[in-house]
């Protein structure tokens, strides 16, 4: 059987508000996800029955705690199929862009196709819920509002393919630390979930740029002032809007033209910040025909 190569796109958060802690230890959130074109490539090679994983990224865990391997174990459980997963990593690890979740979504969709398992999207979504809210969104991608743990999804019209500059600090932010350290009483802001979802529903980008909010910015910028300065630099070199994605540390900026995004990226790179020019997309996991 021929190996299958699957392209797995990253995501950004246009809005992220943390609500109360749940009895299960997670937090209720309100968020808006959007797919971007930056992607990993996941190659799925059938084996005699083992589940193994490799990657070109030294920082990526390759054991049982890897989300793509966990996804493979879920979908292949009870079958005789095995697979070797190789991940060509382009989405930074631990950056707030859903890279591990994208790989897991790619594994679910790719293995379903590779072995002709016949699972419906609803069945794949049920598997994804056990892996994380980002995984469920990234099965379909585009743009969606998320509530609950972020897994109660409602589709929204995707934005046009606008250039996005991703500024990638050379540090990692622990998601567990971010949620554990956030003082929720201090994260209130005037922008509401309904305001941003309404703007997206109407395609009102003129209003949208003032509605991008992330509760984790104050916490992360306080511990890592250099990340806050990146947001200031993005706005200073012409971004229509800028925001940290997820629990960080990646900060993105929207630009009207790709050339303007690239010029800003060159400016930031001169200060030792890694940058990638990407763009908004409605696609998430792509499997070759």
Residue numbers annotated as active site: 11, 134
Helices (H) and strands (E) in the chain, counts: 10, 12
DSSP designation for 157 = P
Q: Which residue has the tokens 């990234």?
A: 138
Yes or no: say if 254 and 239 are a contact pair by the CB < 8 Å rule: yes
Quick one: which of 134, 156, 153 has its CA closest to 143? 156
Q: Identify the CA nearest to 37 among candidates 96, 113, 102.
A: 102
Site of tokens 């250099």: 226
Residues whose CB falls within 8 Å of the CB of residue 174, separated by 6 or more in sequence, listed in order? 94, 247
Distance CA 165, CA 210 (A): 18
Bridge partners (DSSP) listed for residue 61 = none
3-state secondary structure of 264: helix
* 270/265 Cα distance (integer angstroms): 9
CB 31 within 8 A of CB 145: yes
Nearest Cα to Cα of residue 105 among 288, 283, 289, 284: 284
Contact 87/103 with Cβ under 8 angstroms? yes
Question: CA separation (Å) from 278 to 51, 222, 234, 259, 275?
Answer: 32, 27, 15, 12, 10
Q: What distance in Å separates the CA atoms of residue 282 and residue 156, rounded to the nearest whole number?
A: 10
On whether the CB atoms of residues 29 and 146 are closer than 8 A, the answer is: yes
């Amino acid at each position: 059987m021929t190996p299958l190569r699957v392209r797995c796109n990253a995501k950004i958060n246009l809005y992220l508000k943390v609500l109360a802690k749940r009895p299960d230890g997670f937090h209720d959130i309100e968020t808006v996800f959007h797919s971007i074109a930056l992607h990993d490539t996941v190659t799925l090679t059938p084996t005699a029955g083992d589940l193994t994983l490799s990657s070109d990224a030294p920082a990526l865990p390759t054991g049982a705690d890897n989300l793509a391997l966990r996804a493979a174990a879920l979908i292949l459980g009870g079958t005789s199929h095995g697979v070797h997963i190789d991940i060509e990593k382009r989405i930074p690890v631990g950056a707030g862009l859903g890279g591990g979740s994208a790989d897991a979504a790619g594994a679910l969709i790719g293995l379903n196709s590779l072995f002709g398992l016949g699972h419906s999207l609803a069945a794949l979504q049920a598997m994804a819920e056990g892996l994380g809210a980002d995984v469920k969104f990234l099965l379909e991608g585009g743009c969606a509002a998320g509530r609950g743990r972020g897994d109660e999804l409602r589709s929204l019209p995707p934005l046009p393919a606008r250039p996005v500059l991703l500024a990638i600090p050379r540090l990692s932010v622990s998601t567990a630390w971010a949620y554990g350290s956030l003082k929720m009483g201090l994260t209130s802001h005037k922008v509401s979930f309904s305001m941003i979802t309404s703007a997206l529903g109407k395609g009102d980008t003129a209003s949208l740029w003032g509605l991008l909010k992330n509760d984790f910015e104050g916490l992360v910028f306080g511990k890592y002032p250099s990340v806050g300065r990146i947001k200031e630099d993005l706005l200073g070199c012409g971004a229509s809007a800028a925001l940290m994605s997820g629990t960080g540390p990646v900060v993105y900026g929207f630009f009207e033209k790709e050339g303007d995004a690239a010029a800003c990226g060159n400016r930031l790179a001169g200060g030792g910040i890694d940058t990638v020019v990407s763009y908004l997309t409605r696609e998430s996991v792509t499997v070759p025909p």
